[in-house]
Structure 1
Amino acid sequence: MTPDESGASVEPLSGETVRHGTGVNSDRAFPTNGHPDNLDPFVLFERFYIDPDKGFPMHPHKGFEIVSYMIEGGMDHADSLGVEHTARENEAMRITTGSGIRHSEFPADDEACNGLQLWVNLPREEKEADPDYVDASAEELPTTELDGATVTTVVGEGSPIELHTPMEYLDVHVSDTWTWEIPDEWSGFLYGVEGSGTVREGDAAAGAGADIRCEFGAGDVLPNADARDVTVESDEEDGLRFVAVSGRPHGEPIRQQGPFVL
């Protein structure tokens, strides 16, 4: 792909390996050395891999919201609100850390697990919101069969997972083609989960300049700060799986200090 009008590359970027102090490994989409900025309203996004003997002991958070979505295995969650819950494949959890919460995350059943975790900034006036928690089973997340794709709404219309920030989080399995359309003035990103394909963005998605395309696959991230339409095509028999995340920016600085977003 070519640079956008601001000169920034719109080509998919590779994630970066992050090793947490607890021994958990993650594939970080952003912020990384390759994409050092947050993507307002999103603080960070990564795919985590937790071995049976690893995990995150009880630790604090404040000032943002967390959406965890499981890809394989199960993850045990416990928090200072008294909640204990196990999220399994294709299930989601949302934590509003607000004024402060403590929680732990460990693999369930002594088996490895992996999933996706998104941090969403809270607007300044809601930084001290009461901490809260909600989860959703796979059956509670609406799934739509389309020509060329199957789309599950993790956050958005019909999902029980809601945040303080207007946003949409889609789990997409493309067997042929699918076009991602996000509201004007929103920002977002695509992250490859499994398989491979190509992406066509902007005018190319509308059919003009269709030769302007890039490969896209597992571990790749495509930032989209300008609400451009993106068409995704699968080039594998088993299809391409990715998540498409978008939201309305707050227009406020994101100041992350470890587990806190101030």
Structure 2
Amino acid sequence: MSNEPARPDVGPIGGEMVRHGTGVDSNRAFPTNTYPEHLDPFVLFERFFIEPERGFPMHEHGGFEIVSYMIDGGMDHGDSLGVTHTATEGDVMRITAGSGIQHSEFPADGAACSGLQLWVNLPREAKGIDPSYDDATGDELPTEVEDGATVTTVVGDGSPIELHTRTEYLDVAVTDRWTWTIPDGWSGFLYGVAGHGTVDGERFAEGDVLPVTSAREVTLERDGAEAFRAVAVAGSPHEEPIRQRGPYVQ
């Protein structure tokens, strides 16, 4: 995938289905054939769908941080630090891979699960830090009812989940019309989780992504009676090349 600077903002585009070697399917927002760039500081983002007989056996990562946020069902996590944990709907897990960590991911209780996974690049000076793990339940994440939406902060102000990169990760249930304000100099994206609506007047549905590199405000609007849910993610770029080599980011 390209490491060139992100292109100017484009309209909503569809995610791309990816079949992992372990038989797990994902809808990837970026990088894809349609949008081959990373979105500094973000390496990739996708929604995973794990069937009961599938999963990810123990494998290694290094050089970045992983945020896994559960949408449906439960996922069993185990890692080389000795941590075991089951995350269920609304829960979040953070892995700082740093100098290297091994982990596994399997659906819990013999049922399928679905969630969102974000890879956040570590700045050059932090690539070799010791690996670590943290998690939080949905009840621990701050949720506010705002004009036009109910917003849960997965990462950002009030969330117990901390990253080495300044990041805002919001889970937004749009009830009417809601405007997302992106801090100056930050880049990010919207991703459709459920239902459909409009983003700046253009249709936006489950599995769609809107990369944002220059806009400072984006308006989401519900369309009809169907629920409309999206995540809004932005971060402060490191302005360093993102050199992804499979499960490692150098």
Q: TM-score range by the shorter chain?
A: over 0.9
Report the alpha carbon displacement of residue 238 of structure 1 after superposing the two structures with TM.
3.3
Residue of structure 2 equivalent to 1:178:
178
Report the alpha carbon displacement of residue 228 of structure 1 after superposing the two structures with TM.
2.2
Report the alpha carbon displacement of residue 9 of structure 1 after superposing the two structures with TM.
5.3
Residue 242 of structure 2 aligns to which amino acid in structure 1?
I
**Alignment partners' CA distance in 2, 1:224 and 1:188:** 5
**Length-normalised TM-score, structure 1:** 0.92
**Alignment partners' CA distance in 2, 1:245 and 1:227:** 13
**Relative to structure 1, is the Cα distance of residues 9 and 224 closer, same or farther in structure 2, using a 3 angstrom cutoff?**
closer
5+ long unaligned stretches in structure 2: 1-5
Residue of structure 2 equivalent to 1:3:
none
Residue of structure 1 equivalent to 2:11:
11
SS in 1 for 2:109: helix
**Alignment partners' CA distance in 2, 1:157 and 1:177:** 22
The CA RMSD measured in Å over matched residues stands at 1.1
CA contact (8 A) 1:186 1:227 kept: no
User: Which has more radius of gyration?
Assistant: 1
* Residues 114-193 of structure 1: pairs in structure 2 closer than 5 A: 114-193=114-193
CA contact (8 A) 1:195 1:236 kept: no
SS in 1 for 2:139: helix
Report the alpha carbon displacement of residue 236 of structure 1 after superposing the two structures with TM.
2.9
CA contact (8 A) 2:98 2:129 kept: yes
Residue of structure 2 equivalent to 1:209:
none
**Relative to structure 1, is the Cα distance of residues 21 and 7 closer, same or farther in structure 2, using a 3 angstrom cutoff?**
closer
Report the alpha carbon displacement of residue 7 of structure 1 after superposing the two structures with TM.
7.9
**Relative to structure 1, is the Cα distance of residues 105 and 259 closer, same or farther in structure 2, using a 3 angstrom cutoff?**
same
Residue 258 of structure 1 aligns to which amino acid in structure 2?
G
Residue of structure 1 equivalent to 2:3:
none
Across the two proteins, how many residue pairs are aligned to each other? 245
5+ long unaligned stretches in structure 1: 1-5, 201-212
Report the alpha carbon displacement of residue 218 of structure 1 after superposing the two structures with TM.
0.3
**Alignment partners' CA distance in 1, 2:54 and 2:185:** 40
Residue of structure 2 equivalent to 1:214:
202
Q: How much identity, in percent, do the aligned residues show?
A: 69
CA contact (8 A) 1:176 1:239 kept: no
**Alignment partners' CA distance in 1, 2:149 and 2:206:** 17
CA contact (8 A) 1:70 1:116 kept: yes
Residue of structure 1 equivalent to 2:84:
84
Deviating above 2 A after TM superposition, structure 1's stretches of 4 or more consecutive aligned residues are 6-9
